[in-house]
Amino acid sequence: MADQYHRRSVNRQEDRERSVRGSAVPERRPYRTDRAVRHRNEIPDRSRMAGRRRKVAYRKPQQNKISMFLVVFSMLVIVGVIAFSAYNLQKKIDAYDLKIQELETEIQREQERAEKIEEFRKYTQTKGYVEEIAQDKLGLVYDGEILFKQEK
């Protein structure tokens, strides 16, 4: 009779028939130990289960506090390292931005200088430049032109 309380049918049809017939004693669900017995076909080792319970039961609250402290401390260290790295990276970014600005102004100055050089190159190819150099450096003059020099 005790077997019928712990026995669970494999066939759902059998369960339906039993509920329709209306058994005198309602069937109860198996306990966890009953499931272990059913699946392993053995009696559970209670000493092993008791040992598990004892380890949990006798864990000292101080061990839990130390564990929590170590976890919190390690998390704070990790956050600190990340924050320090972020600060250093931001400093590098600021330095690079400053260098970029300096290089952009230098590029602008060099472009202006290149424009002046291009204008001078065009000017050197004109007739007016050749006359100016001939007069200033070589002292040449046109026919009928009078040259006045200052005395030192």
Residue 151 lies in a domain: no
Structural domain includes residue 120: no
Residue 141: what pLDDT? 82
Residue 41 predicted with pLDDT over 60: no
- Tell me if 73 is assigned to some domain: no
Is 44 contained in some domain? Answer: yes
Compute the radius of gyration of the chain from its Cα atoms.
50
Highest mean pLDDT among 8-12, 61-65, 76-80, 127-131: 76-80
Is pLDDT above 60 for 45? no
Is the predicted pLDDT of residue 81 greater than 60, yes or no? yes
Q: Which pLDDT score, from 0 to 100, does residue 72 have?
A: 96
Q: Is residue 5 part of a domain?
A: yes
- Does residue 93 lie in a domain region? no
Expressed as residue numbers, the domain containing 35 is: 1-58
pLDDT at 115: 97
Q: Which amino acid is at 17?
A: E
- 36-57 as b/e: b if 16+ CB within 10 A: beeeeeeeeeeeeeeeeeeeee
The mean pLDDT of 65-93, rounded to a whole number, is 96
The pTM of the full predicted model, rounded to 2 decimals, is: 0.42
Q: For residue 6, what are the CA distances in angstroms to 27, 45, 53?
A: 8, 19, 25
Report how many domains make up the chain.
1
Within a domain: 22: yes
4 assigned to some structural domain: yes
